[in-house]
Amino acid sequence: MKKFLLSFVLLTLAVWAGAQVSVTARVDKTNLTLDDELTLTVEVNGASGNMVMPQLPSLPAFNVYSREVQRTSINGKTSTVFRYTMLPRFVGNATIGAIQFTYNGKTYKTDPISVSIYRNAQGISQSRPASSSAKAVSSGNYDSAAVKRPRETADPNLPPLERDLANQAYARGDENYFLVAAVSDKNPYVNEAVTLAVRFYYNRPFYDAPYQKPTVSNIFMEDAGSSQGTQSIGGNLYRYEEQRYLLTGATPGQATIGPATVRYMTGSSPLSVVDRLFGGAIVNQEQTAQSAPFTLTVRALPANGKPGSFYGAVGTGFTMSAQADRTRVEAGEAVTLTVTVKGPGNLKSTADLQFPALDGFKMYPAQAVSDSSVANGRISSTKVFKTVLVPAASGIYTIPAVKWSYFDPSSRTYKTLQTEPISLTVSPSTKTDTGFDFGAAAAAAAGIQTLGQDIAYLKTDHAPAPSVLVTMSTWRMLNWILLAVLAASVLFASVGRKSLASKRVYTSAKSRLKKAFSPEAVSEAVSDYLQQRMHISTGSLPLKAILAALAKHGITPATVEAFSLLWQRLDVARFAPGTPGTLSAQELAHQALDILKLLEEEAQ
């Protein structure tokens, strides 16, 4: 039996560990030439111990010439990265098929990746192999005896950004180090995402090369990843380091992009073998490479046809979805509605989605959360909107479709997405009214009290002589006086008991509020006070009905308004804690103490 249990536990742990494993694949670029190289990265998360290498698919369009494995472990979470550097073999569209990874008997597969391969430079012969050096230059003065290099141009089928970068590099191929920059579109719309790429080309060693990114105006700029590659220029092989940025125009008009700068040292490193052997015979020299600045013209979005559900997103390929964390609740319970928008470009600068008002619900919008990522050379963004819905009464409700629009620059039209309606079933609240606690109102007494007898015993002996009380009963005036005194005593005792019970309810509420460390505890203390003091049930009544009940108990309009504000703040703190301006539990407890004091003084 023990062996069976042990095997079951180990199997369960293995299945659980396997469920945490994920495998993803990406490339550093999706457009390259035959001169360039491609880096394929396969990342495995959650797998530990000895692992087999991922199984690559057939790659007829590439030659793999470099492999690298890197493993990291942070807080018990293991991540292994496999990098493959590949050279393209022919021109055309190529697909890197699904990559398989097997762990603990389970096989994982990645999604296929599409890559476009273009021709080399046009206008020259590529019959001789690319070398690893170029003509040396000094202050821009070239050797006059050198043969003039034919003019090279990039493949016209290359995407505009890659074509511009390649042509700038061909124009400066007589230099050993240079920096170029280009954008994917020089005439974007406001908030349309464009890509800025900066490349540092070199064909000789260098070191200590700090990089300074370009300055921009009227543009939001965000890092979008880096990559490496090669390019043959005039028969000489250059390597390049590329940094990309995501740009979005802020307002219509001119937007400037300043030069990027790299300061680098040439010669040998101070710690090189040459310096140690020859005593620093190699002369080191600091040099600077800069890209050319340029200007963008940001276009305004058309006002004609702009829908009310447009919040500033510009691009193509957006998707939208909505879901509720649960579809069956009780009246007074919170439901979180989440709307997610995904697409290209930058969604951070777009306005937050405005949820439509819903009859029968209190709504507490929460702050939107944005995120962006770079995969396979493309930038994608996600924006998540949340709102908390609290139904006031039971029934079957439908959360209607939520609309969200964007501007498509390719068709120059506005397009609208909408979510599917969500059905919500609300049952009556099971929170029962506690009623008035008569035990709390009764005076505490020790032991058992005899309140009276209901058995009359038959007397068999002779009647005794009349007592003093019997004699006094014949005095009628005295009897009326005693009866009046007794009635007054009973009245005063009853009022005293009610007053004592009220004081105990108020004292208990104050004690609970002083110890409350959460909005829920504050709300429960206030609710119990209203239930026991005024018989007002907050669990089954909307706020409007609660305020009306307070007014019937003689509470002044100013105090009713103060209670209304407190109750709304409690709802926000409980159901939408991320909302800006939400008060802490201590602040809410202090306000509740002040309002309960007013209620105690004014209650009838």
pLDDT tens track for 413-450: 999 999 999 999 999 888 655 444 444 444 444 445 45
Spatial separation of the C-alpha atoms in residues 505 and 513, rounded to whole Å:
12
SS3 track for 218-267 = CEEEEEEEEEEEEEEECCEEEEEEEEEEEEEECCCEEEEECCCEEEEEEC
Q: Count each helix (H run) and each strand (E run) in the chain, helices first.
A: 10, 30
Amino acid identity for residue 55 in this structure: Q
Q: Please report the pLDDT score of residue 524 as a whole number.
A: 87
Question: Cβ contacts of residue 547 below 8 Å, gap of 6+?
Answer: 560, 563, 564
pTM: 0.65
* Closest listed residue to residue 240, CA positions, set 258, 253, 259, 227: 227
d(CA 187, CA 160) in angstroms, rounded, equals 13
Domains of the chain: 22-118 (2.60.120.570), 160-298 (2.60.40), 310-427 (2.60.40), 475-602 (no CATH)
pLDDT beneath 70: ranges in the chain: 1-19, 49-51, 122-150, 268-284, 366, 374-378, 431-480, 482-483, 485-500, 539-540, 578-581, 604
Pairwise CA distance, residues 49 & 21, whole Å? 13
| pLDDT at site 115 | 92
In sequence order, the 6+-apart residues with CB closer than 8 A to the CB of 529 are: 505, 506, 508, 509, 596, 599
Calculate the CA 163 to chain-centre distance. Answer: 36
What pLDDT does residue 422 have?
92
